[in-house]
Amino acid sequence: MEKKPIGLGVVGLGRAFTLMLPTFIQDERIRLVAAVDPQPGPRTQFEADFGGRVYDSVAALCGDPLVEAVYIASPHQYHAEHVALAASAGKAVLVEKPLAITLEDCTRIVEVAHEARVPIVVGHSHSFDGPVLHAARLIQSGTLGRPRMLHTMNYTDYLYRPRRPEELDTRQGGGVVFSQAAHQVDIVRLLLGGEATSVRAYTGCWDTTRPTEGAYMALVGFEGGAFASLTYSGFAHYDSDQLMGNISEMGEIKPLDAYGQSRARLASANADREAQLKAARNYGGSAYRPMSVSAGAYHQHFGPVIVSMDHADISLTPEGLWVCGDMQRELRPTPKCDVPRVEVVDELWASVREVRPPLHSAAWARANIEVCLAILESARTGKEVALTHQVKAGIVA
């Protein structure tokens, strides 16, 4: 197996890159070689930190011979254009979820990947989390029978974290459905086999100063009769991390005095000031502080997930899986790596160096977005929405 690190070019040095940076720094299979970003601060910091080249356009970055794969972390509405540029240049692609914000753009990406014969890995999403992959392996083994029902929920402060204006505009990919359901749907589809059949949903837009969806509840049916309920609220009231041992989404112990801080920070900020607050804490910003390059003691998570099987219920936790069977229950710990989000690089490496098809492919991600769009359509029309672009889940190694 080739040991040469993958030369990675980065499109967008914002929040997504800030969260993935500890992974890229720590994992020897990745070398950051180039970047493009509209802001001078992040570009200057990238040059200083990595000695990499910085560009003023995505096309120019894709023309760099040192760039073997492109990590696309630009705003949602630009994903289709940027993936097409990278794939057409023959580069492998790691693109942040969501793949795109329309089915047409998702299909365009699927077709570009096929024509260019380059791998496209979509993530990070929380279906990369160790306990989710552990649960998928257990379910796929068949030892507990078939999956029958799944419940997942997450209550966070998402809507009251600093946002750019487009992040509060559903038409531009804003709101919790595109940003957060993309995680939840990905988890649910992986655990229940992938082939969803229909969606019935409601959404909540309850704050006129944040004019986008801040909550949703959906019932999703699957081939074979399994079904799942998905609930999410980003209105910064109840915090479902209480149900996860007070472990945060990032796998860290949550400070007891953190409650209410998100709303308090935004209390006196207008739209311009809010965008500045977001930029300041990101890579190269005035308030940027490097995150730890080592993973914490716990796995990252996306709230409680419970899968009902024929012979047991499986509850996902930041430590592993509680398997509650007919006569006994046990905690099956999920092995943990010191590198945070190492599973993302595992999949990129397997796709680029070992020429294996990715689990989180463009076609898989298109199916996730179809469910997300169905949530919005069902809420708008009051009707159940049938799905037509679904694909089976791959085998989890």
In the predicted structure, residue 89 carries a pLDDT above the cut 90: yes
* pLDDT tens column, 308-338: 999 999 999 999 999 999 999 999 999 999 8
> 3-state DSSP helix/strand/coil percent for the chain, to nearest 5?
40, 20, 40
Q: Poorest-confidence range of 131-140, 249-258, 296-305?
A: 249-258
Region 38-54: mean pLDDT is 96
Q: Mean of the per-residue pLDDT values for the chain?
A: 95
Compute the distance between CA of residue 327 and CA of residue 26 in angstroms, rounded to an integer. Answer: 43
Shared domain for 101 and 204, answered yes or no, is: no
- Looking at the fold, whether 100 and 134 belong to one and the same domain comes out as no
Q: Which of 139, 188, 127, 124 is nearest to 332 (CA)?
A: 139
Residue 25 shares a structural domain with residue 115: yes
**Residues 11/72, Cβ–Cβ less than 8 Å:** yes
Q: What percent of the chain has pLDDT over 90?
A: 88
* Cis geometry, peptide bond prior to residue 124 (ω within 30 degrees of 0): yes
Compute the average pLDDT of residues 25-46: 96
Q: Is the predicted pLDDT of residue 140 greater than 70, yes or no?
A: yes
Radius of gyration of the chain (CA): 20
Same domain for 304 and 227: yes
Establish if 308 belongs to a structural domain.
yes
pLDDT at 293 over 70: no
| Cβ proximity of 191 and 396 under 8 Å | no
Q: Work out the number of other CB atoms within 10 angstroms of the CB of residue 334.
A: 20
Residue keyed to tokens 């024509």 = 115
Q: In terms of residue numbers, what domain contains 79?
A: 6-126+339-361
Residue 397 belongs to some domain of the structure? no
Domain membership of residue 157 (yes or no) is: yes
| Position 86 in a domain | yes
**Would residue 28 count as lying in a domain?**
yes
**pLDDT over 60 at 350, yes or no:** yes
**Do 73 and 37 meet the contact criterion of CB atoms below 8 Å apart?**
no
Q: Are 234 and 156 in contact (CB under 8 A)?
A: yes
**Confidence (pLDDT) at 272:** 76
- Look up residue 61 and give its amino acid: L
Q: Does residue 395 form part of some domain?
A: no
- Identify the pLDDT of residue 289: 85
pLDDT tens per residue, range 197-230: 999 999 999 999 999 999 999 999 999 999 999 9
Residue 394 lies in a domain: no
pLDDT confidence of residue 279: 84
Spatial separation of the C-alpha atoms in residues 186 and 81, rounded to whole Å: 23
Q: Please report, for residues 177, 219, 234, 236, 294, the alpha-carbon distance to residue 216 in angstroms, rounded to integers and kept in the order given.
A: 7, 10, 9, 14, 34
Q: Are residues 28 and 139 in the same domain?
A: no
191 Cβ partners below 8 Å, 6+ apart?
Answer: 132, 135, 136, 139, 147, 150, 305, 307
Please tell me the predicted confidence (pLDDT) of residue 276.
84
Q: Assess whether 104 and 119 both reside in one domain.
A: yes
Instruction: Provide CB contacts within 8 A for 104, sequence distance 6+.
Output: none
User: Both 104 and 233 in a single domain?
Assistant: no
- Is the residue at 234 inside a domain? yes
Q: For the domain that residue 35 is a member of, what is the CATH number?
A: 3.40.50.720
pLDDT of residue 171: 95
CA–CA separation, 202 vs 198, rounded Å? 14
Neighbours of 377 (CB within 10 A): 14
CATH code for the domain in which residue 322 is found: 3.30.360.10
Whole-number pLDDT of residue 297: 86
Per-residue pLDDT tens over the stretch 236-264: 999 999 999 999 999 999 988 888 888 88
284/147 same-domain check:
yes
Q: What pLDDT, on the 0 to 100 scale, is given for residue 295?
A: 64
**pLDDT for the residue numbered 332:** 98
Q: What is the mean pLDDT of residues 14-36?
A: 96
Q: Is it the case that residue 294 has pLDDT exceeding 70? A: no
Tell me which H or E stretch contains 204.
strand 196-204
Q: Is the pLDDT of residue 291 over 80?
A: no
User: What does residue 384 show for φ and ψ, rounded to 5 degrees?
Assistant: -70, 140
- Better-predicted residue by pLDDT, 22 or 277: 22
State phi, psi for 61 to the nearest 5 degrees.
-60, -40
- Do 179 and 51 share a domain, yes or no? no
Interval 350-374 mean pLDDT: 97
DSSP H or E segment with residue 9: strand 6-11
Do 298 and 377 belong to one domain? yes
Residues 159 and 294 occupy one common structural domain: yes
User: Average pLDDT for residues 119-130, to the nearest whole number?
Assistant: 96
Q: What is the pLDDT of residue 238?
A: 97
Whether 2 has a pLDDT exceeding 70, the answer reads: no
Report the number of distinct structural domains present in the chain. Answer: 2
Say yes or no: 301 and 354 in one domain: no
The closest of 234, 199, 238, 231 to 213, measured between CA atoms, is 234
Q: What are the structure tokens assigned to 223, written together?
A: 């081939």
